[in-house]
Amino acid sequence: MLGRSYHIKTFGCQMNKYDSERIAGLLEDAGLRAVDAPDDADVIVFLTCCVREGADERLYGQVASLKRLKTAGKTPLIAVGGCIGQRDGEDLQKRIPHIDVVFGTHNLNELVSLLQRAAASKTPQVSRWEDSSAADFERLAPELREHPFHAWLPISVGCNNFCSYCIVPYVRGREVSRPLDEIVEAARELVADGVREITLLGQNVNSYGRDRYGEPRFAEALEAVAACGVSRLGFATSHPKDLSDATIAVMAATPAVLRYLHLPVQHGNDEVLAAMRRVYTRAQYLERVGALRAAIPDITLSTDIIVGFPGETEAQFEDTLDLVRQVGFDQAFTFIYSPREGTRAAALPDQIPHELALERFERLAALVQTSATERNAALQGSTQSVLFEGPSKRDPALMTGRTRGYKLVHVPVPAGADQSALRGKELLVRITGTQAFYLQGTLE
């Protein structure tokens, strides 16, 4: 018996968000119920991220602070999974002895039995994968989705790209694509279950099928899932080298596919892109953006950018600024390069001092804000179809939702309307105000 309640704390990317919905499903199946505060939980699960150093440190701090629960006479079981669990395994348990279970990124199916064994034997349990080719997409239990109307649907796991700065291939393993008939069956079940929006997931989602010679590729998978009748279909994360004309054509021709693409560029200079092992040039990236915009003129485009990669000169950094100006991104997630042990870039000479990287980061962030502001301002007065998620975190008198270009919108709840009745509904909204990172509007 594991107790009655659980609490899950999730860091990192959408894969972890999906895994936390799966774990919630598993624990519900085992008879536990979710609680908001870790202090009230019998089982506390952390899903961790190690893509940058900051995320690593936060985890150690947060888990360490739970020692107070154990010393205060409570005996919650503490489990740590995700990418730090996979990377550190037994070392993590040794460093923080009050952790009861450490599990890897492909070991979710063992979580309940690991917890049971840890509880019965009072000895910590550790399980992580050695060989990632055994990726298993099988459903463990019905997921407990954060929003009943939205579902993540993994179509591949792992990554074969080994960008020189990135730890993901080491902690998520090699790329394995899921057979298309399984994906379509899962999508049909989700639609039958009332899901309105599906996000296809993969570390490198649009290289889907490359590991299965002769099998359907990403464009066909996108088309096949859209044909299951879902209202909205998104996908993340796409690599520029794998953005095919066929995919652009399916995106343009399929109304359910969101008018949104997250296409990480990482840098604007060819030498740095080569050192990052991104395998495209600036010109090739710009060519793909041109092809996208020719086919889907109103597409929302977001990206990821790293500043302070080893050896980055001022002139190279300015190429990044110039690329941001040239593309006019709707949104960009910007990161200061963080050396990750075991990756190629961590061993490069000329690591950039933090103050210099920070100064560049701030210049880039200011430019991104200007670009985002301008792109959103162009939507003033337009009518957008918005899928409503729930009350705004900042102001419960506002509902938040997303347009078909995946822009965040805040809308005042009409007098007398029931907020919960709007949740999961797609309605027309007139845009009455625009900011850098969200839109304001009223129901039509």
Q: Cα–Cα distance between 170 and 159 in angstroms, integer?
A: 9
Closer Cβ to ligand F3S, 236 or 409, answer by number: 236
| Cβ atoms of residues 411 and 440 within 8 Å | yes
Q: How far is CA 145 from CA 25, 94, 369, in A?
A: 8, 33, 32
Question: Residue 5: which of 49, 42, 45, 56 has the closest Cα?
Answer: 42
Exposure string for 13-42, b = 16+ CB within 10 A, e = fewer: bbbbbbbbbbbbbbbbebebeebeebeebb
Contacts (CB under 6 A) with ligand F3S, residues 149-188: 167-168, 171-172
The answer to whether 332 contacts ligand F3S (rule: CB under 6 A) is no
**Stretch of residues binding ligand SF4 (CB under 6 A), selected from 155-163, 293-301, 332-340, 395-403:** 155-163
**φ, ψ (nearest 5 deg) of residue 434:** -135, 140
* Rounded Cα gap, residues 8 and 29, in angstroms: 15
> Least CB distance from residue 135 to ligand SF4, whole Å?
15
What would you report as the CA-atom Rg of the chain, rounded to the nearest whole angstrom?
22
Q: Is 116 helix (H, G, I), strand (E, B) or coil?
A: helix
Q: How far is the CB of 440 from ligand SAH (least distance, A)?
A: 29
Closest residue to ligand SAH, Cβ-based? 304
Q: How far is the CB of 261 from ligand SF4 (least distance, A)?
A: 15
Token duo for residue 355: 């103050």
Smallest distance, Å, CB 33 to ligand SAH? 33
Q: Cβ–Cβ contacts within 10 Å for residue 327, how many?
A: 20
| Residues 136-165 as x/- pattern, contact with ligand SAH by CB under 6 A | -----------------------x-----x
Helix (H) or strand (E) holding 301: strand 300-307
Query: Any contact of residue 166 with ligand SF4 (CB under 6 A)?
Result: yes
How far apart are the C-alpha atoms of 202 and 208, rounded to whole Å?
A: 8
Candidate segments 104-112, 154-162, 186-194, 331-339, binder of ligand SF4 by CB under 6 A: 154-162
The single residue among 125, 132, 338, 434 that binds ligand SAH, judged by CB under 6 A, is 338
**Least gap, CB of 239 to ligand SF4 (angstroms):** 5
Q: Which residues pair with 442 in a beta bridge?
A: 430
From candidates 153, 159, 296, 345, binder to ligand SF4 by CB under 6 A: 159
C-alpha distances in angstroms, 57 versus 49, 62, 83, 301, 322? 10, 9, 13, 31, 33
Cβ 36 to ligand SAH shortest distance, Å: 28
Helix (H) or strand (E) holding 10: strand 5-10
Q: Is 208 in the site for ligand SAH (CB under 6 A)?
A: no
CB of 278 to ligand SF4, least distance (A): 7
Residues 7-36 within binding reach of ligand F3S (CB under 6 A): 12-13, 15-16
Binding site for ligand F3S (CB under 6 A): 12-13, 15-16, 49-51, 82-83, 167-168, 171-172
Binding site for ligand SAH (CB under 6 A): 51-52, 159, 165-166, 168, 203-204, 237, 239, 264, 266, 304, 306, 335, 337-338, 340
